[in-house]
A and B are shown apart, each in its own frame.
Chain A
Amino acid sequence: MLHIPCPYCGPRDETEFHYGSEAHVAYPENSANLTDEEWAKFVFIRSNPKGWMAERWVHSAGCRRWFNVWRNTINHEFGPSYKPFTQQPKSPA
């Protein structure tokens, strides 16, 4: 089980959290003018990296707040976690 570093509460068991997938996927500007290809990219394409990934979790059974964290998808090692709308720390890689 992952031990996830909530930036509000500290490290807690994975079962207290829900996953929110890749972080920093912004809703497109000028959405009325997007082509079908651009919509497909926003709706369906995520980076799915092998290595460090910035992702979102929500501490559902704790503080109930969303946050972002770096995690390595090769070995599940965590990097820094950070609150939304704050400066993203550099990738640990």
Chain B
Amino acid sequence: MATTTRRRTVELPDHPDFLWVADQKPKKSYDVIIIGAGGHGLATAYYLAKNHGITNVAVIEKGWLAGGNMGRNTTIIRSNYLWDESAGIYDHSLKLWENLEEEVGYEMFFSQRGVMTLAHSVSDVRSKQRNFYANHVNAVDSVWLTPNEIKEIAPIVNISEDIRYPVMGATFQPRGGIAKHDWVAWGYAKAAADMGVDIIQNCEVTGFKIVDGKVQGIKTTQGDIAANKVGMVAAGHTSVLSKMAGFDVPLQSRPLQALVSELNEQVLDTVIMSGAVHVYVSQAHKGELVMGAGTDSYNSYAQRGGFHVIEHQLAAACELFPIFERAHMLRTWGGIVDIAPDASPIIGLTPVENLFINSGWGTGGFKATPGSGWVMAATIASGEPDALAKPYALDRFISGHLIDEHGAAGVAH
């Protein structure tokens, strides 16, 4: 790759071209192939090498590293979920976040500025308080805030009772926060590459080599690659891959949009979410307001959605935060999220031997990046589901043991 003449500063990380071999070509075979160089795929490769000593690993990416949902999310990190299974995996993830920069040796701007989830009606208050008590039972930090306490933490919130969606209370997780998503991916990629993992971009999977129900390798646009084990970590394209491998997954691919403003003075030093009105917002370190909207209603692989979804989101944002009325939004974009019927991930074995799945993170996968990689690596290394991943097996849709975070988390997940 061409070198860049950009001057390096102490504030910026190394240019990503120097962090791994950018034009890596695939070898003939690997012990493990991970499909998808997003956050979860890179984290899986990193923990395979770090925790399990498996370094003959390739991460295959059809586009560019972290060019999918890893580069498109709103970077919110929290673990205050309702169900025990969710608390297990998301809080494990949050604990990993708390030491990640030191462990990986790379700046990620991880900031535990707290995440506030607003309640706007009596039933909303009841369901959020149920969530708050469940968090306590699971030893996940959680605080209940009155409107005045919300105002103390975030003075720009409109707590008037005379608005369409009045703020009646909130749960607050002080350990929650944000991180800089590109740098998270680059940090994992660099650390994995340093341990011997090959990262192969512009290499699309076109099929699997499966003999007697056992995966032997993959077919790609850069030729066939043999592997003992293969992990699919492909988010919105999981259905496409599973079709190639000959089994069904209960996933729907939908656009999820986000948007960002011009640089503003710092006005918000926490993260505020509202499932009821489909707003979630934080202010990035440079000063952009980073906001997420709801999913579009229809299936799509187009990485874009309708503007009316953005309009709906901004209308609610302007009522909740009147100061935002004068902010200029610069860009909107979409990513394709894979949503399971219970809005919880699908992790574990598949009907094909030695082919593993990690998908269904839907609208909330970024926060789970470290934990997801951790349990996926353990599952691939041992061939058995990791304890934290076990409830998320594909067969829960047959047994009926759903982990229904749809009701618990709403859209803002």
Contacts and interface: CB of A to CB of B under 8 A. Distances in A.
B306 A2 contact: yes
B301 A14 contact: no
B308 A73 contact: no
Interface size grouping (class) on chain A:
20 to 34
B361 to A, nearest CB: 16
A55 B307 CA distance: 21
B250 A45 contact: yes
User: Chain B's interface: helix, strand, loop or mixed, by majority?
Assistant: loop
Given A2-B298, A73-B301, A74-B301, A41 B248 contact: yes
A2 to B, nearest CB: 7
Interface in B27-44: none
B163 interface: no
B302 A45 contact: no
Interface in B253-295: 253
A47 B251 CA distance: 9
Interface in A3-55: 14-15, 18-19, 21, 36-37, 39-41, 43-50, 53, 55
Given A15-B308, A36-B398, A40-B397, A76 B297 contact: no
Contacts of B250: 40, 44-46
A55 to B, nearest CB: 7
Contacts of A71: 298
Given A1-B307, A45-B248, A73 B299 contact: yes
B398 A73 contact: no
A11 to B, nearest CB: 15
Interface of B: 237, 239-240, 248-253, 297-302, 306-308, 341, 397-400
Interface of A: 1-2, 14-15, 18-19, 21, 36-37, 39-41, 43-50, 53, 55, 71, 73-76
